[in-house]
Amino acid sequence: MNLEPGDEFAAEVDKITKRGTCTVKYDGQGINIGPVTCEPGRSVRLRYLGADSVAGTSIRFALCLTDKVLAENYKDHIRRHVSGLLPDQPPQEGEQTYIEVDKIDEYGLGLAVAGGEVVELGPVQANEGDLVHVVGREPGYAEILNARARGKRYRIRFDILRERWDKLPIEKNELFTATIDDTDGSNLIAYVDGLPVHFSGGKARIGQKIEGELIRFHRDRGVGKVTKVYDSVGDIEDSGHDTRLQHLQQAGFGQKPFCAFATRFTGVSGDQLPSTEISIRDAIVGEAIRLGLAEKAEAGEQQYPQAHITAIRHWVVHKLAAILGQPVAGTDKVSDDVGWFQAALTERTGPTITFLGDVIQLSQGYYAPAPTRAVMISESEAVLVSGDPSRPFLESGLDIEFRGLTRILTDTSEAELRSREEPV
């Protein structure tokens, strides 16, 4: 076989064991490439690592460079079998490999040590000791390839770290207008075309529009000064949860802005909402799904009211992203590692809006609002099962209490509901 360690080549997946471990054939020789999720016949890009002795048998190994086919336990395979074959030196320009995060500094930037040299990895979403898939750039820098291991705004922060000034949207001493998006506890933060600029000692508040000047760059960020503060509230570009709450306060939602927003959005009073913030979130998302489905189904031309998930999601996210953030998988701790929209709709541990029966899941990504019925759970309470939004029921004189995604009709009876011609 004419491969040397470090050579890159392409091959088709040949065999996959019951454990998911895959081999490819090259020049008639089998090469172990670790656990994958694809089917035999898939072409993958590889880097040959060499041979190692496993249980007295010499086995050839290659590093799989096609991220899309890697199984979740791929890094475990590297640690168990091939870590000794990875080069103990910084990756050369264009060379893909795995490298261990040795340290994460106070700015959230990952550092690795290879061959006694420090390698800057940029902002990471990883822990010290984790393996990350990287490609070498210029000496001293390696770019993380796995999107899940990259920190927020990775590309622009990595460019600042590498002093690639020509790639940045603003230059030193340039004036700009922005909105205060966030705080790290001691500094205010604004994003100028994605570039984070930190201000110390400013009198602006989160959500306020400001004029500023970029003074210098430090590590992965700009450092600026506020030259003017406006009274108006601007759009927040990259807000965390606490930031969004402060933004709601700036917009006039009082000292409990999340609860105040929920009361306006659902139409019920504060004592008819859940007591915990997680359950209030569910109430908001559930109501948004019903509203979005109702609007999109009404606008459709189908014989029966229905709407596609992409249309519903777009409507819901457009309404709630400023409050809940984007529903990105793996970033929302209350949603079982899926984004908050999909979690509430179908995919999480515990009740979903489809499980409760408010929404009917059809084929090919379509959903329909379920017909209204009331399920008595006591002499004076009933679960409202319906794809219809809450306001028509409230306007008809019914009392609704939100318990997460579930809506409870309170202070009623079976006789009263039947007199209103509500199916029971």
Report the side by side order of strands in the sheet with 307-308: 307-308, 366-369, 359-361
What would the pLDDT profile of 138-157 be if each residue is shown by its tens digit?
A: 999 999 988 888 998 899 99
148, 135 Cβ separation under 8 angstroms = no
CA distance linking residue 130 with residue 110, whole number of Å: 10
Helix (H) or strand (E) holding 342: helix 340-345
Burial of 128-139, coded b for 16+ CB within 10 Å and e otherwise, reads eebbbbbbbbee
pLDDT at 202: 66
CA distance linking residue 224 with residue 247, whole number of Å: 22
Q: Residue 61 — pLDDT band, cuts 50, 70, 90? A: very high
146, 118 Cβ separation under 8 angstroms = no
Unique residue bearing structure tokens 């393996």: 131
* N- to C-terminal Cα separation, the chain: 75
Question: pTM of the prediction?
Answer: 0.57
Amino acid at 166: D
What would the pLDDT profile of 64-74 be if each residue is shown by its tens digit?
A: 998 888 888 89
Helix (H) or strand (E) holding 32: strand 29-35
Q: Once rounded to an integer, what is the mean pLDDT over residues 345-355?
A: 86
CA distance linking residue 116 with residue 219, whole number of Å: 22
pLDDT at 331: 46
The residues, ordered by sequence, that sit 6+ positions from 344 with a Cβ below 8 Å of its Cβ are 282, 285, 286, 289, 335, 352, 353, 405
CB neighbourhood size of 66 (10 A): 16
- Three-state secondary structure call for residue 204: coil
What would the pLDDT profile of 105-123 be if each residue is shown by its tens digit?
A: 999 999 999 989 999 999 9
∠ CA 15-19-20, nearest 5°, is: 50
295, 366 Cβ separation under 8 angstroms = no
By percentage, how much of the chain surpasses pLDDT 90? 45
What would the pLDDT profile of 38-56 be if each residue is shown by its tens digit?
A: 889 999 999 998 888 765 6
How big, in percent rounded to 5, are the helix, strand and coil portions of the chain?
25, 35, 40
Q: Residue 333 — pLDDT band, cuts 50, 70, 90? A: very low
pLDDT at 230: 84
Residue spans of beta strands (DSSP E) within 65-174: 96-100, 103-104, 109-114, 117-123, 131-136, 142-144
What would the pLDDT profile of 215-272 be if each residue is shown by its tens digit?
A: 999 999 999 999 998 876 666 665 666 667 766 776 777 778 888 889 989 999 888 9
334, 341 Cβ separation under 8 angstroms = no
Given a cut of 60, is residue 329 above it in pLDDT? no
Q: Once rounded to an integer, what is the mean pLDDT over residues 128-132?
A: 88
Ranking 86-95, 260-269, 318-327 by mean pLDDT, the lowest is 318-327
182, 206 Cβ separation under 8 angstroms = yes
What would the pLDDT profile of 162-200 be if each residue is shown by its tens digit?
A: 999 999 999 999 999 888 888 877 788 998 888 999 998
